Amino acid sequence: MTSTPPLKLYNTLTCSKQDFLPLDPANVRMYVCGPTVYDFAHIGNARPVIVFDVLFRLLRHIFGAEHVTYVRNITDVDDKINARAAQDFPGLPLNDAIRAVTETTAARFQADAKALGCLEPTREPRATDNIAEMIAIIGKLIAGGHAYAAAGEVLFSVGSMPDYGRLSGRRLDEQQAGARVAVEAHKRNPADFVLWKLSAENEPGWESPWGRGRPGWHIECSAMSHRYLGETFDIHGGGLDLIFPHHENEIAQSRCAFGTGAMANIWMHNGFLRVEGEKMSKSLGNFVTISDLLETEKFGGRKWPGEVLRLAMLKTHYRQPIDWTVKALEEAERTLDKWYLKLRQSNIDINALPDDDLDEEFMGALRDDLNLAEAIAQLYAVFGDRDMHQSLPASGLASARLIGLLQHTPNEWEEMKRGRLNLDTNKIGSLITARLAARAAKNFTESDRIRDELVALGIQIQDSKDPVTGELKTVWEVKR
RNA sequence: GGCCUCGUGGCGGAGUGGCUACGCAGAGGACUGCAAAUCCUCGUAUCCCAGUUCGAUUCUGGGCGAGGCCUCCA
């Protein structure tokens, strides 16, 4: 604790890296926009989940696990959910159908996040459990002259906030010139956005002072962050695309409702993801969900361990665009194979690792706005060092585990790979025995034939010779 | 049209006002019956044009190129 360099984070609000100084070191508070649960999360959705999980882990390390509160919401009220519910469960009453959609997709999302090695957030509130909070904030906004009811909606009045648009670097007058915002007669300003809208009979709704209706998208996050983190908190994160309008509008709502100068001090945004060089979209047919990757053979003709997905995601700086390719996943898996092999040779008990002894250069890179590319390069150095054959430094291993890698034992890792292929270990054993016999008899034609057969089964063998007795030995592993 | 990123070796991807990481792929070697794995060694890059500077890949300006946002899409 003597003179640790500060954590630096890039702040979208100031367009610069700045030292992170929490409002209250005893309770560091972070909010990240979670998924709208109308469909299974795609691999692009996984990026903020993983990136902010790393930040969560880092903050816990720096400030103490019990001093960090991480809130990631689940948006379970949304018109897309309604449409999905009606489409997928036409026989059910709408409320039941909606619940069926949101329960399934939310559970799937949580399972995905776990498979990707992410810790559970401190809180994972649902929008539908926080309607009262939203109504209270809307009431404050109306009372303060920041919102008005018109034509069955309650709208936020952007003109009531002098520096609206600061986060996204937009000015209201330019917005209007852009002409892409629909001008609607009931809006005072074309950029005014919905806080509450009335629901028809066949739409989900909650009673409110303005009639039975449902919240606009942005108000949910203002409500949930306020309830769990307060009027002003430390870090707000999400994808790049949320800067405008979502985060801009959250800021407007929260600051105007509570009369504060800031909703969050630092705004962080992760970059987008492309798939094999192209934008991911359903029309291009390259839309890939997290569960597709984990449990089907849709991407690259095979399943992928969550840890491979995690490493592949972390090898690119979080603010850079990332190209999601089969090649990158294969490379990530090879790297993990090597590290697990090293770990197996080291005889370190991963359950007895100190969590305060970490590689200094690794930590330096992490503290520099989560420079994971450089941090991971440090891990290559740690795991690749020849002299470390027998003594992998515990600090290197603990470093990898800090960012959620190497969460398994080497045996578990190998088992996962074997399980993926449904291998018949007895058959493999007898083939290897037969091959050893052929080699002993110098029948190399036969031994090579057996090796080809094993390769066809996805097995890679490695021959060795006992240095003392000269005895031939063969070990095998799942082919990389 | 407005705003914002970014252009580094064959590929991915960092940092830096002077000597440019790391990984993959590639080359040579050791080992092997031959392989594989492992180990040793090695090569190759900073979009273009100006400017600032003793010196720029790094700073400034312009150009070209790529991507994103401006549509409740992470």
The domain that holds A375 is classified in CATH as: 1.10.730
Give the distance, in angstroms, between residue A16 CA and nucleotide B60 C1': 19
pLDDT bucket at A178, cuts 50 / 70 / 90: very low
Say if residue A310 is in the same domain as residue A211: no
Q: For residue A409, give the 3-state DSSP assignment.
A: coil
The total number of residues shown for chain A amounts to: 480
Residue A2 falls within a domain, yes or no? no
| pLDDT, tens digit, 9 for 90 and up, residues A203-220 | 889 999 999 999 998 999
Q: For CA atoms A27, A32, A38, A43, give the dihedral sign.
A: negative
**Does residue A287 carry a pLDDT above 90?**
no
| Distance between the alpha carbon (CA) of A436 and the C1' atom of B64, Å | 63
Residue type at position A241: D
Count of helix runs (H) and strand runs (E) in chain A: 16, 15
**DSSP 8-class letter at A243:** I
Report the nucleotide nearest the CA of residue A78, measured to C1'.
B72
Is A31:A221 a contact under the CB 8 Å cutoff? yes
pLDDT (0 to 100) of residue A284: 73
Please list, residue by residue across A27-46, b when 16 or more beta carbons sit within 10 angstroms of its beta carbon and e when fewer do. bbbbbbbbbbbbbbbbbbbb
| Predicted confidence band of residue A183 (pLDDT cuts 50, 70, 90) | low
| Residue A130, domain member (yes or no) | yes
CA of A448 to C1' of B65 (A): 52
User: What letter does residue A158 receive in the DSSP assignment?
Assistant: G
| Last residue in a domain, options A223, A253, A270 | A270
Distance A467 CA to B61 C1' (A): 68
The answer to whether residue A302 sits within a structural domain is yes
Classify the C-alpha dihedral A336-A106-A227-A144 as positive or negative.
positive
Q: Which nucleotide is nearest to A378 (CA to C1')?
A: B22
How far apart CA A166 and CA A168 sit, in angstroms, is: 6
How many structural domains comprise chain A?
3
Angle at A444 between CA A442 and CA A450, to 5 degrees: 125
Interatomic distance A335 CA / B24 C1' (Å): 10
User: Would you say residue A293 has pLDDT above 70?
Assistant: yes
Whole-number pLDDT of residue A182: 53
Distance, Å, A272 CA → B66 C1': 14
User: Which of the nucleotides lies closest to A217 (Cα–C1')?
Assistant: B72
Å separating the CA of residue A13 from the C1' of nucleotide B54: 39
Res. A81: pLDDT tops 80: yes
Q: Which nucleotide is nearest to A241 (CA to C1')?
A: B69
Closest nucleotide C1' to the C-alpha of A330:
B24
The yes-or-no verdict on residue A179 having pLDDT over 50 is no
Do both A463 and A380 map to the same domain?
Answer: no
> Do residues A314 and A408 both lie within one domain?
yes
The whole-number Å distance from A260's CA to B63's C1' is 44
Task: Report the range of poorest mean pLDDT among A62-71, A143-152, A243-252, A459-468.
Answer: A459-468
Angle at A30 between CA A29 and CA A36, to 5 degrees: 140
The neighbouring-strand residues paired with A197 are A153, A214
Distance A370 CA to B8 C1' (A): 21
Chain B: positions less than 7 Å from a protein CB are 1-6, 11-15, 21-24, 32-40, 67-74
The rounded distance, in Å, linking the Cα atoms of A229 and A236 is 11
Residues A264 and A281 reside in one and the same domain: no
Residue range(s) defining the domain that contains residue A473: 423-478
Q: pLDDT band at residue A2, thresholds of 50, 70 and 90? A: very low
Above 60 in pLDDT, residue A174? no
Q: Token pair for residue A444? A: 């190399």
Per-residue model confidence (pLDDT) at position A1: 43
Give the three-class secondary structure for A327: helix
Mean pLDDT in residue range A242-248: 91
The CA–C1' separation of A362 and B73, in angstroms, is 34
Based on the domain organization, do A456 and A337 belong to the same domain? no
Query: Residue A146: which pLDDT band, with cuts at 50, 70 and 90?
Result: very high
- Supply the mean pLDDT for chain A: 88
Quick check: is A3 in a domain? no
Q: What is the percentage of chain A residues whose pLDDT exceeds 90?
A: 54
Q: Please tell me the distance from the alpha carbon of residue A6 to that of residue A111, in angstroms, as a whole number.
A: 34
What is the Cα–Cα distance from A23 to A343, expressed in whole angstroms?
A: 40
Distance from C-alpha of A48 to C-alpha of A46, rounded to nearest angstrom: 6
Judge whether residue A176 has pLDDT over 70: no
Instruction: Please state the rounded mean pLDDT for residues A125-133.
Output: 94
pLDDT digits (tens, 9 = 90+) for A391-445: 678 888 899 999 999 999 888 888 888 777 777 888 888 999 999 999 999 999 9
ipTM of the modeled complex: 0.90
Q: Are residues A188 and A83 in the same domain?
A: yes
Task: Choose one of A210, A242, A270: the last residue of a domain.
Answer: A270
For nucleotide B6, give the residue with the nearest CA to its C1': A320
Q: Which nucleotide lies closest to A43 by the C1' atom and the CA atom? A: B74
Question: Which pLDDT score, from 0 to 100, does residue A387 have?
Answer: 52
CATH of the domain at A147: 3.40.50.620
pLDDT band with cut points at 50, 70 and 90 for residue A106:
very high
pLDDT exceeds 80 at position A158: yes
Q: How many Å apart are A291 CA and B58 C1'?
A: 42
Q: A337: which nucleotide lies closest, measuring CA to C1'?
A: B37
Q: What is the pLDDT of residue A348?
A: 77
Mean pLDDT check: name the lowest of A121-125, A449-453, A473-477.
A473-477
- Closest nucleotide (CA of A216 to C1')? B72
